[in-house]
């Protein structure tokens, strides 16, 4: 009877220690890349999109003095290892959805993987998803070219 009680206790303790999906964060070049692929589809003002695009393209010669905040409610990307032409992402900003396919979706999917978003799959599909994306870009710090100025946090999965 003792081994059974010990096994039950071990199982209970191991289940109690299973964490829920926890927040993740990235900074530096990975955060800038994540903001760089999401910003064009976001509801950010055109001036902020232009600044992010310039930084992502390696141009720090921009005149913008304010920190930029980029948020997305959810991003879900799907590719297929059966239909190798299938790739799409659905991005949700304040309840509004944008869907992209092809190269744009592939760039977002690959950047999510670079940021450490875990993949999930079923029946020939591979998914990467996150929620509660929150990025801040500090133009002054980015211009210093010391590795800082871009930070993003998110919750893996949806």
Whether residue 49 lies inside any domain: the answer is: yes
* Positive or negative: CA dihedral 57, 59, 64, 65: positive
Whether residue 33 lies inside any domain: the answer is: yes
Whether residue 2 lies inside any domain: the answer is: no
Angstrom CA distances, 80 to 83, 109, 121, 124, stand at: 5, 12, 9, 6
pLDDT at 22: 77
Q: Directed axis angle between helix 29-38 and helix 102-114, to 10°?
A: 150
Residue 87 contacts residue 98 (beta carbons within 8 Å): no
Whether residue 11 lies inside any domain: the answer is: no
pLDDT at 21: 53
The series of mean pLDDT values per 10 residues for the chain, 158 residues long, is 39 38 90 98 98 97 95 97 95 97 97 95 90 98 96 92
Angstrom CA distances, 96 to 66, 74, 93, 103, stand at: 26, 10, 5, 22
Whether residue 131 lies inside any domain: the answer is: yes
Whether residue 64 lies inside any domain: the answer is: yes
Two tokens at 131? 């929620």
pLDDT at 121: 84
pLDDT at 157: 87
DSSP conformation class of 82:
S
What domain range includes position 43?
Answer: 21-156
pLDDT at 78: 96
Q: Dump strand ranges (E) for 21-147.
A: 24-27, 68-80, 87-93, 96-101, 119-122, 125-137
DSSP conformation class of 11:
H
For residues 136 and 149, what is the distance between their CA atoms, to the nearest angstrom?
A: 8
Number of domains into which the chain is organized: 1
Single pTM value for the model? 0.84
Longest CA–CA span in the chain (Å) reads 73
* Positive or negative: CA dihedral 134, 138, 143, 144: negative
Whether residue 5 lies inside any domain: the answer is: no
DSSP conformation class of 81:
S
Whether residue 3 lies inside any domain: the answer is: no
């Amino acid at each position: 009877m003792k081994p059974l009680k010990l096994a039950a206790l071990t199982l209970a303790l191991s289940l109690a220690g299973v964490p829920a999906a926890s927040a993740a964060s990235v900074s530096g070049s990975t955060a800038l890349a994540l903001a760089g692929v999401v910003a064009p589809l976001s509801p950010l003002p055109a001036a902020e999109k232009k600044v992010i695009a310039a930084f992502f393209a390696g141009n720090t010669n921009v005149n913008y003095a304010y920190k930029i905040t980029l948020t997305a409610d959810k991003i879900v990307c799907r590719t297929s290892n059966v239909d190798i032409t299938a790739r799409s992402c659905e991005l949700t900003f304040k309840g509004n959805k944008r869907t992209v396919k092809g190269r744009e979706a592939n760039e977002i999917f690959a950047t999510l993987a670079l940021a450490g978003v875990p993949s999930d799959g079923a029946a020939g599909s591979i998914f990467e998803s996150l929620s509660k994306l929150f990025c801040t870009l500090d133009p002054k710090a980015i211009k210093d070219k010391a590795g800082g100025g871009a930070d993003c946090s998110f919750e893996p999965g949806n």
